[in-house]
Structure 1
Amino acid sequence: MSDRSSPHFSRRTLLGGVTGAAALGVTALGGSGLAAARASSSPPKVVDPFTLGVASGDPLPDGVVLWTRLAPDPLNGGGMPTRPVPVQWQVATDERFATIVREGTVLAHPESAHSVHVEVSGLQPRREYFYRFRAESELSPVGRTKTAPALGAPIDAVTFSFLSCQNFPAGYYTAYRNMVDEDLDLVIHLGDYIYEGPSQGTLGRGHLPEVEVRSLADYRIRHAQYKTDADLQAAHAAFPWLVTWDDHEVENNYADEESDPDTPPAQFLARRAVAYQAYYEHMPLRRSSMPTGPDMTLYRRISYGELVDFNVLDTRQYRSDQPRACAPETRDPSGYCAEALDEGRTMLGARQRQWLLDGLANSPARWKVLAQQVPFAPMDQDADLAERSFGGDKWDGYVADRQRILDLIAQRQVDNPVVITGDVHVNRVCNVPPNFTDFDAAPVATEFIGTSVTSGGDRTLNTRYDIDPNNPHLLFRDNHHGYVRCTLKHDQWVADYRVVDTVEAPTSPIHTLASFAVDSGKAGAHRT
């Protein structure tokens, strides 16, 4: 569990921070050019360049990535001069910065929308730290972060939350408003951080610009709009994050260079390049993830002592196009369309798949996590008990790649594999069978699927624990909004489904709707 060195670090601190040059205790930077972004009217106005908050991510035992973006006018191009601007950063062991352990100055470049990605090193393992930035006389809010445990170190527990799908017009971020009060080591975002479409909703949170975004300028505005939300800012400032994308960060249901609707590959790759650029600019990612044109390496592995390996996957950039639907009479006896069974089809691409298989086979960690986007366990969608039908954008459309993972788990006796998933805007718990046809077989893995933060908006609630005859491996399904809080110990993994009552009001209570556990050494979940 997290050990909080500052129990008084409140949500108000996260949202407000400390202001004023004297608080930083260093000489003012001269000639940074930030003054050029200020209004020229008299008297001069103080322009806050930290309107998008601060964030940290990708924690290691000795360091973490610190992020901010200078944007005094975030919804109008940023409002910064077209030249680099120096930004100071500090890391301390206390929120008042009485003991500063690391500090430095970096340049925020206009080519990167004046975003800053500081890769801090030299910190102590599993230690809480506080950080902030300064540009000229303006100070950022204070952020709190925490390094990972030392590699292979024995630790009692790790607690994290995972979530996804936060369509801005669809609702308020009541999940984040509540999550900042949790005691977490880490937050994992599984994609659909932004939505690319023009939807406006009915809550006065309509998308900007009011069109589907396609240009770099428009993707930047869309990311900035999401990050202006105070509850999202507070959640970023409270915990280190691991992030990966799904499809809406670029375009709905895209696959590698294939677009939906069909667009010439060269034209789509140009769009993908600017979408990836804007994504990197707004996330606490390392330089190793900096995009090169339409390519960006996002899959990676983060270890927390000897307890858990987080394998963060990218199921969009390298996948084959989704299989076409087929008529019932043309389906394979298993219920799958022939195209979905094609051995040559891939969800991960050869390099990422081999990296994952090697990592699973050689991991000494107690728990092996696949942090990824789309449902992994097979799911029969045909209401007729005598028939079977499987969807194509999920792993059911990429049977061979999934089977390679399941076969390795069985053959190498990989213990305690757990898949965490977003995408489908519902909560589910699935016991993952050893193949795509025998749903009653003893499971080889467990899948926890988390609902959306807001996507889909408020709807008629439906929570079920009864067995679905078509899918006996499905233990739970629900369509509240919220997130999943996971507590990992040596003997057990507990997943608490934390749900809010509404996303149509700025505030909402939260409660644990259901809890499921996985016992170490035995695949499959049970309700607690």
Structure 2
Amino acid sequence: MFGWNPRVSDNCLPDHPTLPSVSRRTLLKSSAALAGAGITVAAAGAAAAAPAAPAVGFAHGVASGDPLPDRVIIWTRVTPSADALPGSGAGEAISLDWQVATDPGFAAVVRSGTVSADAGTDHTVKVDVTGLKPATAYHYRFTARGGAVAGQVSPIGRTRTAPATDADLARLRFGVVSCSNWEAGYFGAYRHLAQREDLDAILHLGDYIYEYGRGEYGGRNGSVRPHEPAHEIVSLADYRIRHAQYKTDPDLMALHARLPFIATWDDHESADNSFDGGAENHDPATEGNWATRKANSARAYFEWMPVRVTGSGTEVTLYRRFRFGNLAEISMLDLRTYRDEPASSGAGWRKVDSPDRTITGRAQMDWLTKGIVSSPTRWKVVGNPVMIAPCLFPPLDTKTTAALTDMVGLPDAGVPYNTDQWDGYSADRRRLFDAITTAGVDNTVFLTGDIHTSWACDLPVDAANYPGGPTVGTEFVVPSVTSPNIDETLGVPPRTVSVAAEEGFKAVNRHVRYVELDSHGYGVFEIATAGSQMDWYYISDPIDPRATVRHAASYRVADGAQRAIPVGAPLDAASYRPGA
């Protein structure tokens, strides 16, 4: 049981110390014909298979993101003509007028301007609207000025700026999501979040899109909705088409139009198990140079997502920080661009302890540690694409087991079940935890996606000595929106095989307070002066476009406590209104 790897997005086969691991890439090639197996990297704007032509105009909705006290990003994509499909490189440049107002009728316009949408950015536009008031709700829209779409008006979006940095806040509330695979089902989690009135923003922790070709990675019923293009995405045109397809989902469109997103990427925005020099799901022989593919994926992401780009050229960075008054600071990480290649199982496990290996890159680690230890806010929140809590078989006391680990060749703290997580880069985790401990920082919470399952964990300095030893914070992991999890991967009914595995995880790793391996959904996370709480909500069925939702569990960490405890009731949605 404990040889099985629950990172179902990457390796769904048993992964035992005595057996060679089987890559997802190998599995897919042996089990189905890959529609895109023979493709090579295409130049920007090259022709690629495209979905049916959307209506001209604003077929992909509007979005906003990265709220600061005086500014916010607003985004849209215009289709100026029937041939100007996403990824086509075709279509004339169109001027778009944009307006931001304090009312949905736009009687009180506070900022406006004009921006050009052209094929160079796939007819997407982003405006960093400045000069806004803190903690204020705004409405925005775009209007086409010329061509066949002259006079067309986009849907109206609603957004909100962050509070002033010195604001004395009592609480904040966020929706938290990750891992939304188009083929595996419908985005009911997005729909239910869009219906709430008690959220300040959405935190998207990665795997916003998936790169696989059609039929390569669906849910328990195969591919509920086919991917476009049909082949695995590699070229710039491919990535643009895939982003465009996801932006046509009505539930995602509704959520984007209702709340600002604070997003980061994980691996599937480029390719499965990606690192600084490649990816498990990248074959240079048939898919070309990794750096080119990575650049294609990054360019399409920055075009199609409402994120604020810093730097230029090859120095563009995605990791960034958001301040919410004196209550919280949120650091969003990029854990794919700078990491070393994950250690393999067997003899490669010993590499996880190497001080030369990094998951963050040195610059990002310095930025992260300095930000956490110097933050003036009560809560330090980290948007963390992959799990940081140690999950080992078994956790070992390094002071008393050195002879054993040296003889057998095990990592110092025990065998990691998933070296794609922080467990595979234990020196970086130790650097971060040591910095937090040395500075005496409390109230650090990591919010995590990636593994399609739900977890509440304390973060011990030494997992073998938990609960007697100190902790540096807590971690809350949210499930996938649709991407397959354990019951679907194993082909068993929900809440059967997984129940025993969950209890086993908690028995061996005592700092794991809650784990649920089967359900899809989202989290609602509240940060408050007295404590922070995560509520897990699970949808009834990811392949049902009308799926219902239920509250499943809640865990709370009190101010200064550094440990998560279960609570019986979720946050009251009616008790909080942003800005009220």
Q: TM-score, normalised by structure 2?
A: 0.78
Amino acid corresponding to residue 443 of structure 1 in structure 2: T
Deviations 1:252-277 (A, max 9, x none): 00111223256559810011111111
Deviation, structure 1 residue 75: 9.4
Deviations 1:23-72 (A, max 9, x none): xxxxxxxxxxxxxxxxxxxxxx9953211110000000011000111136
Q: For residues 82 and 508 of structure 1, do their structure 2 counterparts lie closer, same or farther at Cα, with a shift above 3 Å needed?
A: closer
Which residue pairs with 2:363 in the alignment?
351
CA–CA separation in structure 2 for the residues paired with 1:438 and 1:198: 45
Deviations 1:470-502 (A, max 9, x none): 110111111211111011110110111011111
Which residue pairs with 2:564 in the alignment?
525
Deviation, structure 1 residue 110: 1.4
Whether the 8 Å contact between 2:89 and 2:120 is mirrored in structure 1 is no
Residue 229 of structure 2 is aligned with which of 199, 209, 214? 209
Amino acid corresponding to residue 153 of structure 1 in structure 2: A
Matches within 5 A, 1:164-313: 164-182=178-196, 183-200=198-215, 201=218, 202=222, 204-260=224-280, 263=283, 267-288=289-310, 292=313, 296-313=316-333
Whether the 8 Å contact between 2:264 and 2:333 is mirrored in structure 1 is yes
Q: Does 1:475 align with 2:503?
A: no
Deviation, structure 1 residue 382: 6.4
Whether the 8 Å contact between 2:271 and 2:282 is mirrored in structure 1 is no
Q: For residues 309 and 448 of structure 1, do their structure 2 counterparts lie closer, same or farther at Cα, with a shift above 3 Å needed?
A: same
CA–CA separation in structure 1 for the residues paired with 2:386 and 2:86: 33
Which residue pairs with 1:401 in the alignment?
428
Which residue pairs with 1:360 in the alignment?
372
Amino acid corresponding to residue 329 of structure 2 in structure 1: D
Amino acid corresponding to residue 236 of structure 2 in structure 1: L
Matches within 5 A, 1:68-79: 68-71=76-79, 76-77=85-86
Which residue pairs with 2:542 in the alignment?
503
Deviations 1:180-220 (A, max 9, x none): 11121010111111110113344541111111111111111
Q: For residues 448 and 74 of structure 1, do their structure 2 counterparts lie closer, same or farther at Cα, with a shift above 3 Å needed?
A: farther
- The number of aligned residues is 473
Deviation, structure 1 residue 152: 2.0
Q: For residues 344 and 517 of structure 1, do their structure 2 counterparts lie closer, same or farther at Cα, with a shift above 3 Å needed?
A: same
Whether the 8 Å contact between 1:71 and 1:79 is mirrored in structure 2 is no
Q: Does 1:144 align with 2:135?
A: no
Secondary structure, aligned partner of 1:361: helix
Amino acid corresponding to residue 494 of structure 2 in structure 1: L
Q: Which has the higher contact order (CA 8 A, sep 6+)?
A: 2
Q: Does 1:318 align with 2:356?
A: no
Residue 163 of structure 1 is aligned with which of 170, 174, 177? 177
Whether the 8 Å contact between 1:71 and 1:80 is mirrored in structure 2 is no
Whether the 8 Å contact between 1:94 and 1:129 is mirrored in structure 2 is yes
- Cα RMSD over matched residues? 2.5
Deviation, structure 1 residue 438: 3.5
Whether the 8 Å contact between 2:532 and 2:556 is mirrored in structure 1 is yes
Amino acid corresponding to residue 509 of structure 1 in structure 2: T
Q: TM-score, normalised by structure 1?
A: 0.85
Deviations 1:279-326 (A, max 9, x none): 11110022426x635x53000000111110000000000011101212
Deviations 1:91-147 (A, max 9, x none): 111111111111110111311111111000111110111001111211000100000
Moved more, 78-87 or 177-186: 78-87
Amino acid corresponding to residue 480 of structure 1 in structure 2: S
Moved more, 46-55 or 444-453: 46-55
Whether the 8 Å contact between 2:206 and 2:266 is mirrored in structure 1 is yes
Which residue pairs with 1:126 in the alignment?
135
Which residue pairs with 1:450 in the alignment?
478
Q: For residues 235 and 46 of structure 1, do their structure 2 counterparts lie closer, same or farther at Cα, with a shift above 3 Å needed?
A: closer
Q: Does 1:376 align with 2:401?
A: no
Deviation, structure 1 residue 77: 3.4
Q: Which runs of 5+ in 2 are unaligned?
A: 1-52, 145-149, 397-403, 405-409, 568-580
CA–CA separation in structure 1 for the residues paired with 2:494 and 2:267: 26
Secondary structure, aligned partner of 2:389: coil
CA–CA separation in structure 1 for the residues paired with 2:85 and 2:141: 25
Deviations 1:399-423 (A, max 9, x none): 0100111011111011100000000
CA–CA separation in structure 1 for the residues paired with 2:395 and 2:137: 50
Q: Does 1:461 align with 2:476?
A: no
Q: For residues 101 and 61 of structure 1, do their structure 2 counterparts lie closer, same or farther at Cα, with a shift above 3 Å needed?
A: same
Q: Does 1:54 align with 2:62?
A: yes
Whether the 8 Å contact between 2:271 and 2:281 is mirrored in structure 1 is no
Q: Which segments of structure 1 move beyond 6 Å, counting only runs of 4 or more?
A: none
CA–CA separation in structure 1 for the residues paired with 2:303 and 2:327: 32
Whether the 8 Å contact between 1:74 and 1:224 is mirrored in structure 2 is no
Which residue pairs with 2:100 in the alignment?
91
CA–CA separation in structure 1 for the residues paired with 2:533 and 2:273: 32
Deviations 1:400-452 (A, max 9, x none): 10011101111101110000000000000000101354443232210000000
CA–CA separation in structure 2 for the residues paired with 1:121 and 1:153: 19
Moved more, 214-223 or 386-395: 386-395
Whether the 8 Å contact between 2:79 and 2:85 is mirrored in structure 1 is no
Amino acid corresponding to residue 271 of structure 2 in structure 1: E
Which residue pairs with 1:334 in the alignment?
none
Amino acid corresponding to residue 206 of structure 1 in structure 2: P
Amino acid corresponding to residue 320 of structure 1 in structure 2: D
Q: For residues 381 and 111 of structure 1, do their structure 2 counterparts lie closer, same or farther at Cα, with a shift above 3 Å needed?
A: farther
Which residue pairs with 2:7 in the alignment?
none
Residue 102 of structure 1 is aligned with which of 108, 111, 119? 111
Q: Does 1:484 align with 2:493?
A: no
Secondary structure, aligned partner of 2:392: coil
Identity within the alignment, %: 40
Amino acid corresponding to residue 352 of structure 1 in structure 2: Q
Whether the 8 Å contact between 2:463 and 2:511 is mirrored in structure 1 is no
Amino acid corresponding to residue 361 of structure 2 in structure 1: G
Amino acid corresponding to residue 243 of structure 2 in structure 1: H
Q: For residues 262 and 280 of structure 1, do their structure 2 counterparts lie closer, same or farther at Cα, with a shift above 3 Å needed?
A: closer
CA–CA separation in structure 1 for the residues paired with 2:239 and 2:89: 17
Amino acid corresponding to residue 185 of structure 1 in structure 2: D
CA–CA separation in structure 2 for the residues paired with 1:277 and 1:156: 38
CA–CA separation in structure 2 for the residues paired with 1:62 and 1:126: 9
Moved more, 265-274 or 403-412: 265-274
Whether the 8 Å contact between 1:91 and 1:100 is mirrored in structure 2 is yes
Deviations 1:494-524 (A, max 9, x none): 1110111111110111121001101001101
Which residue pairs with 2:18 in the alignment?
none
CA–CA separation in structure 1 for the residues paired with 2:245 and 2:297: 15
Secondary structure, aligned partner of 1:139: coil
Amino acid corresponding to residue 120 of structure 1 in structure 2: V
Whether the 8 Å contact between 2:73 and 2:308 is mirrored in structure 1 is yes
Q: Does 1:389 align with 2:401?
A: no
Whether the 8 Å contact between 1:177 and 1:507 is mirrored in structure 2 is no
Residue 451 of structure 2 is aligned with which of 424, 429, 434? 424
